[in-house]
Amino acid sequence: MSAQKKKWGDRKDGVWLKDIPAMNRIMPSLLPNRADNEAHISIDIDARPLNAYLEKVNEGRTDDKYTFFHLISAAAGKAFVLRPKMNRFVVGSKMYQRKNITVAFTVKKRFSDHAEEALAFFEFDPRETMASYHEKIMKIIHSTKSYEEKDTSTGAMDIICKLPQCVIAGIVKFVLWLDKHGWAPDFLIGSDPNHASIFLSNLGSIGLPGGYHHLVNWGTNSCFIVVGKKYMKMEYDANGNEDLHEVIPLGITLDERIADGYYYSGTVALVKELLAHPELLELPADTPVEYAIKR
């Protein structure tokens, strides 16, 4: 998003939306907690187009292969570019348009019970292509898996946790107050997934099915996406013909205050279209895509 002059009431991460419908203006005051305003959507993505695309783009690759997670997260990022209401958040009694699109997820440094997790947090550029996104996400993953480096938020938490419990409680209250006003410093929240546009969890990578994940009142995140393990699903066409095929479950939890159900339905339809034709992700993210809401 191009730079905008900060006006009264804006935050460093968002522009205060004053000229919006009355319903959108009043809901944050009536229902102030993000966790009380969750709308959950479960969808299954046909894995066949993705399998074919991955086979093509990974031909000859031995390292840093493209994955389902890369395609799904890139599709979500493109949907946020083309559907800007998705990139809104509510803090206090105000709704904001986020200034940048950001993507976040946790990275397990090793698949072990005792291995640490690191936080991956980066910006999704409106001109992002599948190739540039893949390069960016792999760089982040390699960096966060390094034991020599820690993300800023985890490093700050490590320092705070060494303090007495009473001091920690006071710091947390102060940070919550700062965050409410958009003043929390980047060394605390700079890589915090709860301050991202899109927070993803790839449960499929550890063999778990998809499902629901709650939103939290801390931070500004309005969209949590869970990617589950692939499974076989029987579907039927209009004539009752059977179609058994592999699908990838997605669980999407949204803050219902930022848009209406029809807008969410359009966003889901767009994501499905992108994943049914993943070659569309090779174009710059702001390239329009034709899609339709199926009724």
| Alpha-carbon gap, residue 202 to 39, rounded angstroms | 20
pLDDT score recorded for residue 11: 92
Answer yes or no: is 269 within a domain: yes
Residue 15 lies in a domain: no
Q: Is 254 in a helix, a strand, or coil?
A: strand
pLDDT at 3: 53
Query: How much helix, strand and coil, in percent to the nearest 5, is found in the chain?
Result: 40, 20, 40
Does the pLDDT at position 126 exceed 80?
A: yes
Is 77 part of a structural domain of the chain? yes
- State how many domains the chain has: 1
For residue 182, being part of any structural domain is answered with no
> What are 113's two structure tokens?
């019970």
Q: Tell me the pLDDT tens digit for each residue of 191-231.
A: 889 999 999 999 999 999 988 999 999 999 999 999 999 99
Tell me, yes or no, whether 135 lies in a domain: yes
Question: Does position 151 have pLDDT exceeding 60, yes or no?
Answer: no
Tell me the per-residue pLDDT of 128-148, one tens digit each, with 9 for 90 and over: 999 999 999 999 888 876 655
* Helix axes 47-57 and 68-82, enclosed angle (nearest 10): 110
Q: Residue 64 domain-assigned?
A: yes
Expressed as residue numbers, the domain containing 43 is 33-151+191-282
Structural domain contains residue 17: no
**In sequence order, what are the residues at sequence separation of 6 or more whose Cβ sits closer than 8 angstroms to the Cβ of residue 153?**
119, 121, 188, 189, 190, 191, 192
d(CA 278, CA 50) in angstroms, rounded, equals 7
Q: What is the pLDDT of residue 115?
A: 63
Q: CB 122: neighbour CB atoms within 10 A?
A: 16
Within a 10 A sphere around the Cβ of 109, how many other Cβ atoms? 13
**pLDDT value of residue 147:** 53
Find the range with the poorest average confidence among 22-26, 85-89, 160-164, 191-195: 160-164
CATH number of the domain bearing residue 45: 3.30.559.10
Regarding predicted confidence, which is higher, 154 or 162? 162
pLDDT of residue 110: 65
Are 221 and 98 in contact by the 8 Å Cβ rule? The answer is no
pLDDT on residue 106: 87
- What gap in Å lies between CA 6 and CA 127, rounded to an integer? 24
- Predicted confidence at residue 244, as pLDDT, reads 96
Query: Quick check: is 20 in a domain?
Result: no
- For the stretch 266-275, pLDDT in tens is 999 999 999 9
- Residue-wise pLDDT tens digits, 28-77: 999 999 999 999 999 999 999 999 999 999 999 999 999 999 999 999 99
The whole-number pLDDT of residue 152 equals 60
Give the largest CA-CA distance in the chain: 67
Q: What are 46's strand-pairing partners?
A: 247
- Asked if 178 and 171 touch (Cβ cutoff 8 Å), the reply is no
pLDDT of residue 92: 86
Q: Residue 162 pLDDT more than 90?
A: no
Quote the mean pLDDT of the chain: 90
State residue 273's pLDDT score: 98
Contacts of 208 by beta carbon, 8 Å cutoff, 6+ apart: 228, 229
Distance CA 165, CA 177 (A): 19
Q: Cα(224)–Cα(251) distance, rounded to whole angstroms?
A: 8
